[in-house]
Each structure stands twice: as structure tokens, then as C-alpha cells.
Amino acid sequence: MKHQDGEAWCRKHLADQELYQLLEKVDLDLAEAARWAGCRHCGGKVHRADYERKPRGGPHWDQRFSFCCAQEGCRRRCTPASVRFLGRRVYAAVVVVLVSAMVHGLSADRVRWLREWLGIDGRTLGRWRHWWLETFRRSRFWKAARARFLPPVEERTLPWSLCLRFVTERRDRLLDLLGFLAPLCGPVVGPVS
């Protein structure tokens, strides 16, 4: 795929309201599964205990689905995986992935567009880039997961190279990519800012 096509693909998904609705549904399913599974520590019942998130850029999601164990003496928090929120990032996962993928060969034009449309500045982009190239690349998750890609994913151009493995016109392929990354986004134990 040519880079320009890839960029168009990214922009299209970033503006896709139906995609955001779909992601919310997937997260609801993940939450429902977590509720049925119960507490991972003691097997007890869990209660809904969502916490507030205010991701910037993209849809106005403000609740991260989460649960608390109802068992006296345990009471631990259990936060299911999410296709909407990427770890502790304040931007929606889809925005972090697509925007980070777009920034290879960053032009002044593109930076201006990102700043005006999504309110993402150069410093934030730099932090995301660092996260992909250092934190993500060295994560246990990626070390285990990269083996399933053949030929291997070019790590110096993450996450663009990873997107390429999922890029097609079909929306559900993007969903596959976010689903692939979802274990990074939970379960989270303890309070999360």
C-alpha cells in the first residue's frame, strides 16, 4: 500500500462515527464477559464500578467500564480489556493508533491538521512515538505477539507497520487491530488516572 492511501485510510476512520459506535458495543461485550467471569482473585461476584475517563480527540466517551469484587476482604477492582482506551492514554485508542501511524514522514501540513482538528500537538505526538518505539516494543505483550506475524513486523516504523497488516477497506479489520491491542488496555488493577 502506498503511503498516501494509508493516510487516507487513517483519516477516513478517524472521521467515522459508526466506527465509534461499534467500538462502544465491543467494549460493552467485553464488560459483560468480565462480569460473568467474576473476580479473578477470589471468584466472587463483581459489581459495576465504572470510572470516569475523558479521552480527547474523537468521540466523547467518558466512562471506562470497570467492576469491583463484592466479596468482603477482597473488593479488588477488575477492569476488562478495551478497544476504546489504550492504557492510561487520554486519547481514544483508535486516535492514538491511527494518528501515530500517520506521522511517519511528518509534514508541517499534517501537523497543522492534527493540531487543528484533533488538538494534538507536536509534543504529544513525540510522546506517542516514544511509547510505540520504546515501551510498546519492549512490552511483554509485544514480545509474545510479534511471533505470529510473518514476515516479521518492521519495528522501527511502529505502529504503521502493524497497521499495514490489518489495513483493508473493511472496518472490521481496524476492529481486529484494536482487538489485538486490547490486552494492553487491561485488565488494570488498582486506581487508574
Residue ranges binding Zn ion (CB under 5 A): 39, 41-42, 44, 69, 71, 74
Nearer to Zn ion, 70 or 175 (CB): 70
Residue placing its CB nearer to Zn ion in the complex, 50 or 62: 50
Minimum distance of Zn ion from residue 80's CB (angstroms): 15
Nearer CB in complex with Zn ion: 72/169: 72
CB nearer to Zn ion: give 49 or 74.
74
Q: At 32, which helix (H) or strand (E)?
A: helix 17-37
Residue 134's Cβ-side half-sphere holds a number of Cα atoms within 13 Å equal to 6
Residue 45 Cβ, how far from Zn ion at the closest point, in Å?
9
For Zn ion, give the closer residue by CB, 71 or 157. 71
Does a cis peptide bond (omega within 30 degrees of 0) precede residue 159?
Answer: yes
Say which residues have a Cβ less than 8 Å from residue 40's Cβ, sequence separation at least 6. Answer: 76, 78, 187
C-beta of 53: minimal distance to Zn ion in Å?
23
- Least distance CB 95 / Zn ion (angstroms): 33
Q: Rounded to the nearest whole angstrom, what is the least distance from the CB of residue 78 to Zn ion in the complex?
A: 8
Spatial separation of the C-alpha atoms in residues 79 and 156, rounded to whole Å? 31
Best CA proximity match to 89, nearest among 57, 61, 55, 65: 55
Chain Cα centroid distance, residue 77? 20
